[in-house]
Structure formats: structure tokens, C-alpha cells
Amino acid sequence: MEKVLKKHFILVHGFCLGAWCWYKLITLLEKSGHKVTALDLSACGINMKQLKEIGSISDYVQPLMDFMVSLPNDEKVILVGHSYGGLCISLAMEAFPQKISAAIFISAYMPNHIDPPAFLIQEYFRRTSMESLMDCQFTFDKGMENKPTSSIFGSHFMQANLYTHCQAEDLELAKILIRPGKFFTEDMSKEGLLTQEKYGSVRRVYVVCQDDLVMEEEFQIYNIQKSPPDQVKLIAKSGHMVMISQAQKLSLCLQEIASNNDH
């Protein structure tokens, strides 16, 4: 049997979530002999900061950037970003392209280096009706006439759209651990955040999640068309929270991507 080459996966969660959402996947990847680091971004999970202390996207992704700095120069990791986490790993790809062997976007925002990353957030809201967001709560720090600045998922929305294909206890766990998130649309509207030389030099793979009612498949395809990756994978019947609903399939998918990276 072919020996598994040990990889180091860095898992970056999405909006309102934390490192906790990867608990099933971490177990499976480690059992297969890989090293896994799941990070809490600022004011997420068990990170001690509060949302009001997070003034910019730089503050938000600081834990990821600090971790990347701490890596030895000769170690290459695989970045994995879910949903909003796709924007976060993009900034790390721009800052540390030499430390990343591949970046995997799971039903995520995957920007290109031409349009500002916020373009995707704006496109998402353009395609999404306020009615479909059900009991999600929004705050408008810049006034109701402007775009919302932060939000927290509502429990009905989580049940109907987010945790489809998941066990009831996973939904309950999520309701207890959820924290509000910021959009950072203004920060992500700046020109030149991502470049072809740095961000564009990292191998990218997009994992499409089927039956996703949050990042709908059409929108995932839109991301792929606007910023073509090196490879596209699909996980069937997963819904948005694929790391919980289809942890085994996702684990195998990530390992396959990692081993293809060696050839």
C-alpha cells in the first residue's frame, strides 16, 4: 500500500462559525496521518475578542496571518476555506504564497485578482432576497440606507438552510456556539488586494457542495467562472455544512487533492 505523505491542513471557518465546526473532519484527517490546524478568527469560536473590537478585515484575519508567520520557511501547508473563509485564505495566499502548496475553497467566495473581493459579497446579496434570510439579524452601523455591517444567523434560517443533511444535535451545537460576524465590505472593496504574481501563483481547487441552500450551486459556479481554479470537485448531497454532513467524503476529497499536488 502506498505510504500517505503527511500534509498540514489549515482549516478556516466561515461566517458566524469557529474552529469547532471542523471537529469531525479534524478527527478523520488526523486518523489518516495528517497534521491539522483549525483556527478561530478574531471574535469567533473561543477567540476572546468581541466583534466591536474588530475594526477591519486585517484584525479579523490576524490569527491566520500570525499562524502563517510562525510557520518555518521550508514548510508548505494546504489552506482550506469554507464559505466566507474563502476571502480570508485569499488574503493569506497574497501574503504568503511561498508557504502554501494549495488552497481549497469549499462552497466559498473565491475572488479573482482583477475585481475587488467585495464584488462577490455584493453579487451574493444581489442574488439573495431578504425574505430568504428569514430570522437572520442584521446591524447597520452606517445607517439603514447603506449595506449591513454585521449579522448573526437566526435559528430558523440555520435549520432550514444551513444545517440541511446534518444531524439534529449538530444544529443544536451550532445554535449554542454561533457568534455574530462582520462583512468588511468596505475593506474588501479596495483595489489591488490580490495580485496575479502572488495570489494567482497558488494552486486553487474549488469544492462544489450540492444542495447548498446558502451558497447556491449557481453562485458557486459563478465564482468558478469568474476566477477559474486549477481543479473543481463536487460533493453530492452535502448542503452548506459539508464538514459536518459529509465529513468522510470531504476528508477523502481533501486528501486526494493533497496527493495530486505531489505529482
Residue 210: phi and psi, rounded to 5, are -80, 155
Of 83, 150, 227, 245, which residue is the catalytic one? 83
The grid cell for 193 is 488586494
Task: Name residue 198's amino acid.
Answer: K
Find the angle CA(240)-CA(89)-CA(11) to the nearest 5 degrees.
Answer: 60
The grid cell for 261 is 499536488
Residue 106 pairs with which residues in a beta bridge? Answer: 82, 207
Query: CA torsion angle for 215, 219, 220, 223 (degrees, to 10)?
Result: -130
Helix (H, G, I), strand (E, B) or coil at 247: helix
Strands 150-152 and 137-139: antiparallel
Rg of the chain in Å (alpha carbons): 17
Burial 3-23 (b: 16+ CB within 10 A, else e): eeeebbbbbbbbbbbbbbbbe
Residue (of 262, 146, 176, 166) closest to 212 by Cα position: 166
Residue (of 262, 220, 214, 223) closest to 241 by Cα position: 214
Residue 103 pairs with which residues in a beta bridge? Answer: 79, 204
165 belongs to the catalytic site: no
240 belongs to the catalytic site: yes
187 belongs to the catalytic site: no
Of 238, 240, 245, 251, which residue is the catalytic one? 240
Of 212, 238, 245, 251, which residue is the catalytic one? 212
CA–CA separation, 192 and 190 (whole Å): 7
Residue 204: phi and psi, rounded to 5, are -120, 140
- Residues known to be catalytic: 83, 212, 240
